[in-house]
Chain A
């Protein structure tokens, strides 16, 4: 019974990690840049949802606040690409890494200045309710988080496999030069990818806030999401989600069954094991070019 509760809690955490990891991978695949501010964008998305929807702040209906946060973060991602990343196009990876790490700090302080450094809790319709299956008591928000993540994953899958824009995004990430030759506007595609990553970050933020409180340093769990993305192969969208779920599941079980003090290192131990035995990650997409 207890294990099942641990599992559901772990899966719900894992969904948040997975969605942040998805943002990492989306941007990396499209532009070969790593956005270390992805976790902080998640935090910002959570605060915007709280700022719009909570009684003490904007007071909008919950659903409207969610949509608003997603739209604002989508625009934010696109603006970030246009103003910060595009001038660095063609520069070394390290410049982008430093820039995004620094920008993450900036976001943390901006969020602190606007919403304060104390944890805030999001008002939402199912806060604090429980679902009981016989002897098992599960919290409704955790189940909702898992359901919403499954839904979002399905939508993203349909977008990437069925729509012309989604296929063009894949094409531009697989062979940028050929995409130029086919008249795919690669720079606009990069902007749209950042937009999608911003929207995903907002969704992750709302789900994160639904399970507990948010403070400006919440974005630091982006590090765990980064580990999740690496476990998944850093280039594979299903891999990123799976990596997130693995980390999410490892944490509560390690906390329960491993001696205190060692539990925190469990996700990273998994990361190291994966890197030793499958250096390209679980869902590697390595294929040599045919000559």
Chain B
């Protein structure tokens, strides 16, 4: 496959002393939502950090719109149109909501920033009321919204979203995922979504990869993945018949 917006080829990357991703290749086609599923410690966050330039890969290549971007500085990568919305709402706690949003546009020099703030806040109306408040005083869900909104301020072509549902109530999770879908449809933003909530992720995404201990073990369109028995069993917690339940330990090995 070539001509994808983001192409990752045979990427290997360390997280501290651990080789956390061990030869990953994946594609994000322009205008699609791609999800990466996997358990804790599978290397999903390391993958995103390597793409956004916060970590340098050991081996392998990352191409964005045809240009090699591995080992570039994070600001150079943001400037090219990739923005990483990290896990755990890494906002600037003592800056106001408005200042947080302005920092999202740090790499831009155009005059449309103020207009963009109101456009971005349309997606998250609650932020409008909190504009002058220090971001650290927002609730967890509002901080997550702020993190996504701040990422949008960079006018990304591709958003890397790391666990946007982490620690949020089901209702807020719905809200965030609806916004992700709207951003994709209305503004054509491509999304690489890392998520533990597989059911939701498969609902919103077009294509999915499954990661386990640093490798891709399964990929396919989300329709196909939803039908996959492994996915149903291990990620969706589907209802299995008893015979399958007995042989579970064998199936678990089948992805390696």
Contact = CB atoms under 8 A, between A and B. Distances in A.
Interface in B98-112: 99-100, 102-104, 106-107
A164 B111 CA distance: 13
Given A174-B95, A291-B140, A184 B103 contact: yes
A183 B94 contact: no
B52 interface: yes
Contact of A184 (B77, B86, B89, B106): B106
Contacts of A185: 73, 75
Interface stretch (A16-24, A165-173, A195-203, A248-256): A165-173
B104 A174 contact: no
B74 A183 contact: yes
A177 B45 CA distance: 14
27 contacts: A167-B99, A167-B103, A171-B92, A171-B103, A175-B90, A175-B92, A177-B54, A177-B86, A178-B90, A178-B92, A181-B52, A181-B54, A181-B84, A181-B90, A182-B83, A183-B75, A183-B78, A183-B79, A183-B83, A184-B75, A287-B93, A290-B89, A290-B136, A290-B138, A290-B139, A290-B140, A290-B143
B167 A181 contact: no
Contacts of B79: 183
Interface of B: 52, 54, 73-75, 77-79, 83-86, 89-95, 99-100, 102-104, 106-107, 136, 138-140, 143, 150, 154, 167
B7 to A, nearest CB: 21
A181 B91 contact: no
A172 to B, nearest CB: 9
**Size class of the contact patch on chain A:** 20 to 34
**Could you say which of B73, B103, B140 has the most chain A C-beta atoms within 10 Å of its C-beta?**
B103
A174 B106 CA distance: 16
Contact of B167 (A182, A183, A291): A291
Nearest to B139: A290
Contact of A168 (B85, B103, B143): B103
A175 B90 CA distance: 7
Contact of B91 (A167, A178, A184, A285): A178
Nearest to A188: B75
Contact of B95 (A170, A177, A285): A170
B75 A287 contact: no
Contacts of A175: 90-93
A21 B31 CA distance: 52
A181 B86 contact: yes
A180 B78 CA distance: 9
Contacts of A174: 92-95
Contacts of A170: 92, 94-95
Given A180-B74, A183-B78, A168 B90 contact: no
B106 A164 contact: yes
A184 to B, nearest CB: 5
Contact of B102 (A164, A177, A179, A180): A164
A185 B76 CA distance: 9
Interface string A107-144: 00000000000000000000000000000000000000
Nearest to B105: A182
Contacts of A180: 54, 74
A285 B94 CA distance: 9
B49 to A, nearest CB: 9
A291 B83 CA distance: 23
